[in-house]
Amino acid sequence: MRERNREILGSCRIFSRQSSSTHHMGSRNLSVLALATFVVTLTAAMTFAAGNGHVAPAEPTGKKPAQAEAPAETATNDYDVDGLVARLRDTKAIGLFTKLALKNDIDDLMDSFRRFHSGEPNPPLEQLRDEYNLLFMKVITLVQKDDPELFREMTRARETLWKKLADPGEFTRL
């Protein structure tokens, strides 16, 4: 347990160094990515420390959970993925080399989904969800400041895109 706490503190020091260096560079995007990395690391460490990678279930309160309705954009199955891809390709918020790196990351994720849908046991769906979330966070962090409209559209489309990727029938139509 002490060793795990040292690892967490080491992550905090790395985060601290990244934050101070990005502050001097004046790059908000880099500091947000450093913060996101720190949060993911801390969350994983705390989940692991809770025991065997599982978090204990919440105590029952006797109340029914609130039912939230999905926005109209996420409730439809005919979301325009191609339009979103075109907007990402055309945005000025992401530089050319960053777009090329993102394309490689997206291609790798799509290959992982192809393997999953072909019946291979690795990677499991939970791992794909984690990879999707990290990549999604990376993309929206890059566009949030300079293209807020695309940022809002992407955040609304997050769950719809995930459902299309996770569903074998929808995935073949992408």
pLDDT tens readout for residues 22-74: 444 444 554 555 555 555 554 554 444 444 444 455 566 665 555 444 444 44
Q: Are residues 150 and 96 in the same domain?
A: yes
Residue 104 within any structural domain of the chain: yes
Residue 68 within any structural domain of the chain: no
- Count H helices, E strands: the chain? 8, 0
Residue 21 within any structural domain of the chain: yes
| CA–CA separation, 130 and 117 (whole Å) | 17
Q: Are residues 167 and 99 in the same domain?
A: yes
CB 153 within 8 A of CB 167: no
Q: Are residues 99 and 162 in the same domain?
A: yes
Q: Are residues 85 and 47 in the same domain?
A: no
Query: In this structure, which amino acid lies at residue 164?
Result: K
User: Which pLDDT score is estimated for 35?
Assistant: 56
Using CA atoms, how far residue 139 sits from 29, 33, 62, 91, 152, in Å, is 11, 10, 40, 12, 12
Residue 164 within any structural domain of the chain: yes
Q: Are residues 101 and 152 in the same domain?
A: yes
Q: Are residues 100 and 166 in the same domain?
A: yes
User: Which pLDDT score is estimated for 80?
Assistant: 82
56 or 173, greater pLDDT: 173
Q: Are residues 115 and 169 in the same domain?
A: yes
Residue 115 within any structural domain of the chain: yes
pLDDT tens-digit map of 97-145: 999 999 999 999 999 999 999 999 888 999 999 999 999 999 999 999 9
Q: Which domain holds residue 101?
A: 76-174
Q: Are residues 130 and 162 in the same domain?
A: yes
What is the count of structural domains for the chain? 2
| DSSP label at residue 92 | S
Which phi and psi angles does 51 have, rounded to 5°? 120, 110
User: Which pLDDT score is estimated for 173?
Assistant: 85
